[in-house]
Copies of this chain bind each other. A is one copy, B any other.
Amino acid sequence: MSLIVTGTIGIDSVYTPHGQAERVLGGSCTYFAAAASFYTPVRIVAAAGDDLPAPFLETIRHFKRIDTAGLEIRKGSKTFAWGGKYRDNMNGRDTLFTELGVLLETPPKVPANYVDSKYVFLANTHPAVQLGLLENFPKRKIAIADTMDLWISTARPELEKLLRRVDGLVLNYDEAELLTGKANTVAAARHILEMGPTFVVVKKGEHGCLIVHRDGMGALPAYPAEKVIDPTGAGDTFAGGMMGYLAQRCEQDAAADPRSIDLVRYSLAHGTIVASFNIESFSLDRLTRLSREQIDERYNEFARMVRVH
C-alpha cells in the first residue's frame, strides 16, 4: 500500500439545473481516494471537524481499500464546507459560500508508517502546505500536485517552489493561462514545464484533457456523457483514477516508470472513465455503486472510441 493523497474532507451543497444536494459528502481527498480505491489501496491525510456526520464516515469506509488512519477528526473544529451552483450548460459554476473551518488550523499530521508512500498526490490547497506535506514522503517515485486560481494569484512564490519539487502538475486550462499569461493551452503547458515539472496535465472538463510532457504530448477527449447530473468531484476522481492506475501498474511491474509519457497517458484515460461515472450522480453516490468491471468495460469502449489505427 503506497498511494497517498492529501486533501480535504468536505460538506458540499450543490445546486444544478437537474436538482440539488445539500450538506452531502465531498472534498478532494474523499473523491480522489474513492476513485483510486478501484485500482489500489490508498492512504488519506486529511482533517475534519467533529461535526462530520457519522454516515459520511461510513461512506468513506464503504470503500474498503481506503486506509483512514490518516483521517483526523478534530474535536470542536468545523469541517470544511462549500456551496456551489452550476450554470445552465453545466460548464461553469459559481461558489455560493466557503467555510474553511479546519483548513484554517494546522495541517493534518502524516502517520509515521506512511513515510514509505511511493505515489503521492497533493490535492489542491495552499502550496506551502503542499510543500510541507511532500517532505514527509522521501521514498516517493512520483508526486503530482493540483492547484487553483486562488493560489496562482495569492501564493505564486510558494507555488513556483512547489513546481520545482513535483513531477507533475494538474490544473484547469484557464488556470494554465492565469499561471503563464498564455491563452494557447499548449503554449501555456510548455511554459509550465520550464518551471520544473516533468509533465503538466491540463483539464478541460467536457472537452477532455491535454498532457504536455518532456517526451511529447498526449490528448484525450472526455467520455461522451449524455447524463451529467453533478460535475462536482470530476477533477478529483479524474486524478484518483489516474494515480490509482499508475500505482497499481507500477506495483505490478517494478521496472515501470510512473512518470513515463505512455503510462501517464494511459492513466489519464482511466481517470477520464472514473470521472465519467462520478458525474452521473450527486456526491459519491455513483461511486458507491460502481465496480471495477464496469470501469474496465467503459474503458474498453472508450479505447475503441479514440482508436485511429
Nearest Cβ distance between residue A60 and chain B, in whole angstroms?
Answer: 30
Nearest-neighbor residue (CB-CB) of A88 within chain B: B183
Question: Secondary structure of the A side of the interface?
Answer: mixed
- With A186-B224, A219-B222, A224-B210 already in contact, the answer to whether A309 and B303 are too (CB < 8 A) is yes
Nearest-neighbor residue (CB-CB) of A225 within chain B: B186
Q: Which residues of B contact A210 (CB under 8 A)?
A: 221, 224
Interface assignment of A107: CB less than 8 Å from any CB of chain B: no
Name the interface residues of A254-309: CB closer than 8 Å to any CB of B. Answer: 262, 265-266, 269, 299, 302-309
B302 touches A220 (CB 8 A): no
A224 touches B183 (CB 8 A): no
Interface assignment of A204: CB less than 8 Å from any CB of chain B: yes
Kindly report how many copies of this chain are found in the complex they form together.
2
Within the assembled complex, what's the spacing in Å between the Cα atoms of A212 and B89? 20
Within the assembled complex, what's the spacing in Å between the Cα atoms of A220 and B219? 9
Interface assignment of A216: CB less than 8 Å from any CB of chain B: yes
Contact with B along A188-224 (1 / 0, CB 8 A): 0010000000000000101110101000111111111
Q: Which bucket holds chain A's interface residue count?
A: 35 or more
- With A208-B207, A226-B184, A226-B187 already in contact, the answer to whether A220 and B88 are too (CB < 8 A) is no
Nearest Cβ distance between residue A263 and chain B, in whole angstroms?
Answer: 11
A302 touches B306 (CB 8 A): no
Q: Which residues of B contact A218 (CB under 8 A)?
A: 304-306
Interface assignment of A185: CB less than 8 Å from any CB of chain B: yes
Nearest Cβ distance between residue A296 and chain B, in whole angstroms?
Answer: 12
B224 touches A217 (CB 8 A): yes
Q: Please name the 8 residue pairs, one residue from A and one from B, whose CB atoms are nearest each other, closest first.
A: A219-B221, A207-B207, A269-B308, A186-B226, A306-B306, A186-B224, A218-B305, A303-B309
A residues sitting closer than 8 Å to B (CB atoms) are 88-89, 183-187, 190, 204, 206-208, 210, 212, 216-226, 228, 262, 265-266, 269, 299, 302-309
Sampled A-B contacts (28; CB under 8 Å): A88-B183, A184-B226, A186-B226, A190-B226, A207-B221, A208-B208, A208-B219, A210-B221, A210-B224, A216-B305, A217-B305, A218-B304, A218-B305, A218-B306, A219-B221, A219-B222, A219-B306, A220-B221, A220-B306, A220-B308, A221-B221, A265-B307, A266-B308, A266-B309, A269-B308, A299-B308, A302-B308, A307-B309
